[in-house]
Structure 1
Amino acid sequence: MPRRFLAAALAVAAITAGTTAAVAAPAPITTQNDISSSFADTFADPSVIQGRDGYWYAYATSDPLVAGGPFGLMHIARTKDFGSWEYLGTVFNDSTKPSWAAPGSFFWAPDIRYLGGRYVMYFTVTDTAANPGGDPAIGVATAPAPAGPWTATDAPVVTPKPDGNGGYFGTIDPAMLTAADGKRYLYYGGFYGGISVTELSADGLHAVGSPTQVTIGDRYEGAYAVYRDGWYYLMGSSMNCCAGPTAGYSVFAGRSKSPKGPFLDADGASLNESRVGGTTVITQNGNKWIGPGHHAFLTDAAGQDHIVYHAIDRGTPWLTDPFGINRRPMLIDRIDWIDGWPRTRAGLGPSDTPQPAPATGSGAGIDSTDPAGGLSGATRQAGDSLGGPTAVVRGVASTRQSAPGGSVRVDADVRLGSSFTTVLGGSVVATVSGSRVTVSADGRTASASLPADFDRSQWNKLSVQVVGNTVTARLSDAGLGDLYAEARLVVPGLKLKAAPVRWLGTAELDNLTVRAVADPVRRAAAVPQPGKVLAGDEFDAGLGSGWSWVRPDAKAVVADGKLSWPLQNTDLVGSGNNAGLLFHQVPAGERWIAETKLHLELGEGDIRNYQQAGMIAYRNDDDFARLGNVAIWRTRQTEYGRELVARPSDGATSYGGAAIGRSAPDLWMRLAYQRNAAGEHVYRAGTSVDGKKWTWGASWVLPAGEAPRVGIYAHGDFTGASPAPVATFDYLRFYESK
C-alpha cells in the first residue's frame, strides 16, 4: 500500500469528531425449517441471490407448489429477513419459455447469478424440440431485475450430449462460477455422465471450448462451486433425491487449486475415480428431515455462510400420492468451516428447531436500504428501478457511529471510481485502485490482481473483513462464492479498535452493512465413540449360540479366525426377498455401537451391479437399513440403504440410500444405535478405510416397538463374476457408546 493512500485514509478522522459510540446491529430473528412453509409445500433445488433492492430472492424447480397444483415454469419468492416470505410467481409463462424446448419439457434446477449489469439464470430443460423424447440441455435467460421479466436465449448454453447408444447423457443441474483467473465457468451434469465444467463467454451466455469431466458418473449431480481461502470447492449431491420416505440424498465436497479440478476430498480421494471420494457437507441425522441436498450457498451480513437446500419430512414425504411427486420444501442452515471443509452446523446436519436466521441489516447507525443517512461526507442519490436511494462518496466519508472492535465486516454493492479505500478500526486499509485489490495493516501488505476486463462501472459486491488477525478484501459478482479478486493478509497480534468506518475515493454504495463478524465454529460436533466391548464374536471357532439365520447359507463358513461368505446371487430390495442374513444377539440398553471389518474385492471401473456385503438392521424383508460396500455401475461406494413399505394398500416398497465415506477392499463399518424420545430405533452409520479414522454419515430411523435384529449379509442382484467374490468378516463386536 503506497504511503499516500494510508495517510489520506487516516486523515478522514478529521471529519468524524462528532461520532458517537457503536450501535448494535438489528436484533436477531430465528427461523425454523422448512422456511418455505408459509407459501409452498415444496420448493425444490433452491438457488438464492440478494437483489439490489435488499431482498433475498429464491428460485426453485417447476414442481407444483402445493398438492394438486399445476406444474410451474420455475418459481420465485423473496424475503428481507428469512423469517417471512412473499411468493412472486413463475420465471416463465407459456409464451416466454424457451422456444427451443419441446412441448411438455420440464424446467429444473435454476442457478441465479448477477453479472454484466443484469441477472442471469441457468436452468435444465429436460427435452428439446430438436430431439423430442429426453435430450436434456442447459438453458440461460437474462433479466433486468431479480423478479424478471426473464428472456431466454434462442439456443441452449450447453447442448444435449449423445451417449453413443441412441440416448443422451444427463446434461442437467447447472451452477456458474466467476473465478480468479478472470473467466466464467459452468458446472453441469448428473449421475449419467458425471459432472463437467465448461468455460463460458464473458457475458455468460455461451459455452467456450471443450468441457472437462470433474466427477465420475453414477455418483454426483446438483453441482455448486465456491472459492474460499485459495481453494475452489466443488460440491455435489449424491444418491436418491426423490425416493419419498427412503430418500438418502446428501451433499459432498472436493477441492482444487483450479476451477477445472481435479477435485479431491479431505482424505485425498478424487471425485472422479471409481472408488469415489467426497467429504460430507450435509446428510440426515435421524430427526424429521431426510434427503438433504441440491443446495446453494449464501454469505450473510455478518460473514456467516449458510446452505440453502431441499429435504423431505419423513412423516409427510409425498406432495401427491405415494410414488408421485416428492414433497421437497426449502431449508436453510449454518455452514461451519472445520479444518478447511464446509460442514452443516459443524456436522450436526439439518435442523428441526429454531435457529438464528442469516444476519441482515446493518449496525453503526446505517439503514442498508438508504445508506447515505448514516454517513458523513456522502450524498444521497435517487435509486434506479432496482433499488432505493444509494450513497455516493466523492472524496472522504465515514459512518456517523463507530463500528465494533475485534472483528468487523463491511459489505456493499459498489460502482467504483478509479480508486476507493476502506479503513477499519483506524488502521486496517483496503483499496481497490487500478488493476489491484490491496490490504494493509501494521506495516504489512497483500494484494491481488483484478481481471483485465473487470468493469468497475457495473455493480459488483465488495466485502472488507477483519476476523482476529486476518484481513480480507474481496470483489465479486454477487457474493455467492464467486470472485474477481481477493487480497488476504495475516497480521500477528492485530487488535481492531472500535471506530467509524472511513472511506476515501469515489464510489456509489448500495445495500451497505457494517456488522461484527459472526463467531466462527471451528470444532466438529461430537460423533459416537466406542467404549468397552459388550458382546460379539471374533470368529475363533464356529458360530456360537448368539447367532441366528434368516434363509441359512451353508457356504458361509468360519475358518482361520474369519467368516467367509461368497456373495449370493440374491437381493432384499423390492420383491427379491431371497437373500440369506446372519444376525447376532445385541446387547441390552438404549445405546451401543456394532462394528465389523470386511474384506471384499470389487475391482475398479467395471460394472458389477450390485455386488455388496456389510451390516444390516432388520425388522423384516421389507423394513431394514443396510450398510454395504457396493459396486454401483462403474463406481465403488459405501451405501447405507433403507427399504420400507411406502404404500400399505398393496405393500409396495420404497428403497433409497445415502453414501458414507469411501469404498476400499478392506473396510471397517459401524452402526451406532440409540432410541429416540418417540421410542424409534435410530442407526447412524460410519466407515473407515484404516480402522482408525472414521467417517460418520447418515442415520436411518426404524419404527418404535420391538428392536430390529442386527447382523451381516453378502449378496447382489447378480454377481457379474465367476466365481462369486467372497466377503470375509474378521469379527462382529458390540461396544458401549460413549
Structure 2
Amino acid sequence: MPSKLTAALCAVAAVAAGTTAAVAAPAVTTTNAISSSFADTFADPSMIQGRDGYWYAYATSDPLVANGPFGLMHMARTKDFSSWEYLGTVFNDQTKPAWAASGSFFWAPDIRYFGGRYVMYFTVTDTLANAGGDPAIGVATAPTPAGPWTATDGPVVTPKPDGNGGYFGTIDPAMLTAADGKRYLYYGGFYGGLAVTELSADGLHAVGSPTQVTVGDRYEGSYVVYRDGWYYLTGSSMNCCAGPTTGYSVFGGRSRSPRGPFLDASGASMNESRVGGTTVITQNGNKWIGPGHHAFITDAAGQDHIVYHAIDRGTPWLTDPFGINRRPMLIDRIDWIDGWPRTRAGLGPSDGPVPAPTTGSALGIDSTDPAGGLVGAARQPGDAVGGPTALISGAGRTRQAAPGGSLRVEADVRIGSSFTTVLGGGAVVASVSGDKVTIAAGRRTASAALPADFDRTQWNKLSVQVSGSTVTARLNDAGLGDVYAEAQLVVPGLKLPSAPVSWLGSAEVDNLTVRTVAAPATRMADVPRTGDLLAGDEFSSGLGASWSWVRQDDKAVVADGKLSWPLENADLVGGGNNAGLLFHTTPARDSWIAETKLHLDLGEGDIRNYQQAGMIAYLNDSDFARLGNVAIWRTRQTEYGRELVARPSDGATSYGAAAIGRSAPTLWMRLAYHKNAASEHVYRAGTSVDGKNWTWGASWVLSAPARLGLYAHGEFTGANPAPVATFDYLRFYESK
C-alpha cells in the first residue's frame, strides 16, 4: 500500500463505528418497448445521464406516431426508467445546420459530455455542397442535455465521393474518448464500411486521415466502448427497415487500439471479405425482430445495458405497409461473458417485465443533492445544470455503512490535486493524484496514467468498484464506455467488509451513488443441442422416397457420397420464383434439429451478387426462411433470410435477413425447430466452420410447420461457370 495513504487510512477506520447499513429499495421493472408511453417509434437511440440525475434519450427524425410530422431528432428523459417525458426536437427550422440541404433528414444522434458541455453528433443526409444525397456528419453543442443545441457552421466529417459520381455512406456517428487522451469518431455504413477518424480536442473537427475498421456491405450504426484493456467495436448488420422481415442484429469485435484491427471471439477480422463479428443481440422468436442501432449505458449498480430499436413483427409499420417502419426504443441488460458483450446472456430481446436499470443511491443519499447523506461535506449551490453539490475538503464519509461484498461508488467529480475513495474501512483504496489513478488492496497496487492534458476543472465521471476479487477505478467523460484512465487489480480472496464509504482530499461531487454491484452472469443461455439421430440421408445412393422437388433441377446429382448441385441462375425472392428446391420429410415431432455440411467456394473479395446455397424452411414461394452461405457484393456472409406477404391486398412480398456466424468454403448449418409459447412455429439458425463449435443466431417465426430442404442458386455477376454446391448429408436430430 502506498505509504502516503497509511495515516489517512487509520483515521478512516475510526469513523466506521456506530453506523448502520441501508435497506435496499424495492425493485423497479421495465417492459419493452420503453418508449411506448410517448412514441410509437424512437429509432437509432442513444442515451446519457445528465448531471441533474435524469437519463436523456435521443432518436432519429422519423415521426413519433402515425401521420405525425418528421422531427428534427427527438429528445426524452426519465428518472428511473418507469416513466418518460418527451422534450421535443433537437432542432427547429431556424436552428438546424445552415449547411444542410432543405430536404435533408437528420439521423442517428450520438450524445456525449466533455469539456463542460453536451456534444451531439448526427447524420445529415444531404448538404448544400452537392446536388443530391451526399451524407455527412454534423455536430452541435448545448449547455444542458435538453439544449438549446447550437450546430457548428460545417460538417465534422465531410461527404466522401465514391469516384463514380456518388457518395459513400458517411452516416451513423459514435464518439469515444480513449486512454491515449485523444477523441475518436466512428462512422459509416453498408456503402463504404465503417471508419474511425481522430478529432480535435474540442471534438468539433476531424483531423488526420481516417482508418477503415470494417469491410463495406456489412456494418452500420457503430458504437465503441472500452473495457478491461480492450476497445469493443459493435455495429448493426443487414436491413434495419424491412417491416415484418427485418433481421437487423448487432455484432462486435475488439482491439487493443481504438483504430483496430477489430477481431471477433474466433479471431476473425471485421475488415475482411469473410467478415467476422461476435453476436451481441439478435432476434429470438418472440415478438421483437430487427434489434439494432444501439448504444450502451452503465447503471448505478455497474450493470451495462443496451439501448436499441426493434420492430414488433405484429405491427411493423408506422404508416401503411412499405411506409415508415415502426421502430420503438428498447432496453436490456448486457452480460460480459468470457470477455464478450451478450444481451441477456444470449437470450436476446425481452418482451416481458425485467429489472430496470438501477438508478439513485443507497445509504440514504439523494444522488442529486448528495451533501445531506455525508459527514464532513459542505453543501454547495451548484449550477442550473446539476443542482446542489457536495464539497469534500480534507475528509468525508457516508452517514451509513455500505454493505460488505461487491460495491460500486460513482459520482460526477471536479477533482483537486488529490482525491481518494476508501471502501471497507481501508480494505480498498482508489486515488486520483498527480498524473495517475492508483488502487490498492492489501499489499497489491495497480495504477494507470492520466492523459497529460487531463482537465481537473471540468466535471468528469469517477467510479470505484469491487466485484468479487476484482477492483476497478475508472475516470472518464460521462460513463459511456469512454476512458481517461482505468486501473484494475485482482486480489484473490478479497472480502470487502461493511463500513462507510470515505473520501480524503478535495473534490466537488454530484450525482453520487453507492450501490451493491449487480450479480454478473457467468455463462451463456442454453442453445439447441443435438440428441439422437432421427432421420436423414448420407447421399450414399440416389434420392429416395423421402425426397421431393419444387421445380426439379436435373443438374443436381448424387455421386460419391455427396449431392452436387451447380448453382442455378435463378432466385426465390420477390417475383423471381424460378429456383429449384429439394425437400426431405421432417420428423413428426414438436422439436428437432436439421443439419447439413456444405462445400461452396465463393472466392473472396470480388463482386458476386448473390450466389448462395444452404437450407430452407418453406411454406410457399412467398413464405419461407432461407439459411445460406452467400456472396454479398465483396463480402462473404451467412444470411438467414425471410420472405412473406407483407401487403395482402396485392400480394406484395417483403424480404429481409439476419447474419449468423462467419462464412467459410466448408460450412456446417443447422435449423432448430420448436413451438413457442403462442404455439407458433420457430426456426432458429446456427452455423459452424468446424462442425464442433456452433454459433446460434436469429429465429424466424412461420405460421405453420414448414417443409425443410436444400437450395443452390443466385445471380452470376463475376462467376462463370457457376460454382457447385456440394452437400455431404442432411440429418435430423432430436433436440435436447
TM-score using structure 2 length: 0.99
Tell me how far apart the structure 1 counterparts of residues 678 and 472 of structure 2 sit (CA, whole Å).
Answer: 47
Q: Is the 8 A contact 1:567 1:719 kept in 2?
A: no
Partner-residue secondary structure (3-state), 2:382:
coil
Q: Is the 8 A contact 2:16 2:499 kept in 1?
A: no
Question: Match for residue 258 of structure 2?
Answer: 259
1:193 correspondence with 2:192: yes
Using the TM superposition, name which of 244-253 and 678-687 deviates more. Answer: 678-687
Question: Match for residue 717 of structure 1?
Answer: 715
Q: C-alpha deviations, 1:425-469, integer Å up to 9, x for none?
A: 012100000111000010111000000010011000000000111
How big is the shift at 1:720?
3.3
How big is the shift at 1:668?
0.2
1:535 correspondence with 2:539: no
Question: Match for residue 147 of structure 1?
Answer: 146
Q: Is the 8 A contact 1:276 1:662 kept in 2?
A: yes
How big is the shift at 1:719?
5.5
Question: Match for residue 182 of structure 1?
Answer: 181
Q: Is the 8 A contact 1:49 1:58 kept in 2?
A: yes
Question: Match for residue 564 of structure 1?
Answer: 564
Tell me how far apart the structure 2 counterparts of residues 636 and 364 of structure 1 sit (CA, whole Å).
Answer: 54
Partner-residue secondary structure (3-state), 1:337:
strand
Tell me how far apart the structure 2 counterparts of residues 86 and 132 of structure 1 sit (CA, whole Å).
Answer: 38
Question: Match for residue 221 of structure 2?
Answer: 222
Query: What pairs up with 1:667-706 in 2 under 5 angstroms?
Result: 667-704=667-704
Tell me how far apart the structure 2 counterparts of residues 537 and 305 of structure 1 sit (CA, whole Å).
Answer: 46
How big is the shift at 1:16?
5.0
How big is the shift at 1:545?
0.3
Question: Match for residue 381 of structure 1?
Answer: 380
How big is the shift at 1:24?
2.6
Q: Is the 8 A contact 1:673 1:684 kept in 2?
A: yes
Question: Match for residue 640 of structure 1?
Answer: 640
Q: Is the 8 A contact 2:606 2:718 kept in 1?
A: no
Q: C-alpha deviations, 1:664-723, integer Å up to 9, x for none?
A: 00000000000223332100000000000000000000014xx21000000003363111
1:2 correspondence with 2:2: yes
Q: C-alpha deviations, 1:291-322, integer Å up to 9, x for none?
A: 00000000000000000000000000000111
Q: Is the 8 A contact 2:16 2:401 kept in 1?
A: no
Tell me how far apart the structure 2 counterparts of residues 677 and 421 of structure 1 sit (CA, whole Å).
Answer: 52
Tell me how far apart the structure 2 counterparts of residues 332 and 362 of structure 1 sit (CA, whole Å).
Answer: 21
Question: Match for residue 308 of structure 2?
Answer: 309
Question: Match for residue 127 of structure 2?
Answer: 128
TM-score using structure 1 length: 0.99
Tell me how far apart the structure 2 counterparts of residues 385 and 29 of structure 1 sit (CA, whole Å).
Answer: 28
Q: C-alpha deviations, 1:623-671, integer Å up to 9, x for none?
A: 0000000000000000000000000111110000000000000000000
How big is the shift at 1:65?
0.2
Question: Match for residue 512 of structure 1?
Answer: 512
Tell me how far apart the structure 2 counterparts of residues 227 and 400 of structure 1 sit (CA, whole Å).
Answer: 33
Question: Match for residue 660 of structure 2?
Answer: 660
1:50 correspondence with 2:53: no
Query: What pairs up with 1:37-436 in 2 under 5 angstroms?
Result: 37-426=36-425, 427-436=427-436
Partner-residue secondary structure (3-state), 1:645:
strand
Query: What pairs up with 1:475-486 in 2 under 5 angstroms?
Result: 475-486=475-486
How big is the shift at 1:259?
0.2
In structure 1, give the amino acid aligned to 2:722. Answer: A
How big is the shift at 1:365?
1.8
Tell me how far apart the structure 1 counterparts of residues 96 and 610 of structure 2 sit (CA, whole Å).
Answer: 41
Partner-residue secondary structure (3-state), 1:382:
strand
1:14 correspondence with 2:20: no
In structure 1, give the amino acid aligned to 2:727. Answer: F
Q: Is the 8 A contact 2:642 2:656 kept in 1?
A: yes
Tell me how far apart the structure 1 counterparts of residues 331 and 98 of structure 2 sit (CA, whole Å).
Answer: 34
Partner-residue secondary structure (3-state), 2:593:
strand
Question: Match for residue 729 of structure 2?
Answer: 731
Partner-residue secondary structure (3-state), 1:624:
strand
How big is the shift at 1:9?
3.3
Q: Is the 8 A contact 1:55 1:80 kept in 2?
A: yes
1:604 correspondence with 2:600: no
Tell me how far apart the structure 1 counterparts of residues 280 and 399 of structure 2 sit (CA, whole Å).
Answer: 41
Unaligned runs of 5+ in 1: none
Tell me how far apart the structure 2 counterparts of residues 327 and 28 of structure 1 sit (CA, whole Å).
Answer: 30
How big is the shift at 1:15?
4.4
Question: Match for residue 496 of structure 1?
Answer: 496
1:438 correspondence with 2:475: no
Tell me how far apart the structure 1 counterparts of residues 486 and 280 of structure 2 sit (CA, whole Å).
Answer: 24
Q: C-alpha deviations, 1:206-258, integer Å up to 9, x for none?
A: 00100000000000000000000010000000001000000000000000000
Unaligned runs of 5+ in 2: none
Question: Match for residue 544 of structure 2?
Answer: 544
Q: Is the 8 A contact 2:38 2:85 kept in 1?
A: yes
In structure 2, give the amino acid aligned to 1:516. Answer: T
User: Runs in 1 of length 4+ with deviation above 3 angstroms?
Assistant: 13-18
How big is the shift at 1:2?
2.7
Partner-residue secondary structure (3-state), 2:14:
helix
Tell me how far apart the structure 2 counterparts of residues 719 and 622 of structure 1 sit (CA, whole Å).
Answer: 25
Using the TM superposition, name which of 672-681 and 636-645 deviates more. Answer: 672-681
How big is the shift at 1:599?
0.2
Q: C-alpha deviations, 1:237-295, integer Å up to 9, x for none?
A: 00010000000000000000000000000000000000000000000000000000000
Tell me how far apart the structure 1 counterparts of residues 26 and 452 of structure 2 sit (CA, whole Å).
Answer: 42
Tell me how far apart the structure 2 counterparts of residues 6 and 84 of structure 1 sit (CA, whole Å).
Answer: 46
In structure 2, give the amino acid aligned to 1:89. Answer: G
Q: C-alpha deviations, 1:63-98, integer Å up to 9, x for none?
A: 000000000000000000011000000000000000
Tell me how far apart the structure 2 counterparts of residues 123 and 182 of structure 1 sit (CA, whole Å).
Answer: 23
Partner-residue secondary structure (3-state), 1:701:
strand
Partner-residue secondary structure (3-state), 1:383:
strand
Tell me how far apart the structure 1 counterparts of residues 271 and 224 of structure 2 sit (CA, whole Å).
Answer: 16
Partner-residue secondary structure (3-state), 1:7:
helix
Q: Is the 8 A contact 2:309 2:330 kept in 1?
A: yes
Tell me how far apart the structure 2 counterparts of residues 305 and 6 of structure 1 sit (CA, whole Å).
Answer: 34
How big is the shift at 1:387?
1.9
Partner-residue secondary structure (3-state), 2:10:
helix
In structure 2, give the amino acid aligned to 1:385. Answer: A
Tell me how far apart the structure 2 counterparts of residues 506 and 566 of structure 1 sit (CA, whole Å).
Answer: 74
Using the TM superposition, name which of 293-302 and 363-372 deviates more. Answer: 363-372
Q: C-alpha deviations, 1:6-33, integer Å up to 9, x for none?
A: 32133134345442x1103432200000
Tell me how far apart the structure 2 counterparts of residues 495 and 15 of structure 1 sit (CA, whole Å).
Answer: 20
Partner-residue secondary structure (3-state), 1:389:
strand
Partner-residue secondary structure (3-state), 1:446:
strand
In structure 2, give the amino acid aligned to 1:341. Answer: W
Tell me how far apart the structure 2 counterparts of residues 367 and 25 of structure 1 sit (CA, whole Å).
Answer: 14
Q: How many residue pairs are counted as aligned between the two chains?
A: 735
Using the TM superposition, name which of 564-573 and 678-687 deviates more. Answer: 678-687
Tell me how far apart the structure 2 counterparts of residues 599 and 654 of structure 1 sit (CA, whole Å).
Answer: 29
Tell me how far apart the structure 1 counterparts of residues 669 and 89 of structure 2 sit (CA, whole Å).
Answer: 46
Question: Match for residue 555 of structure 2?
Answer: 555
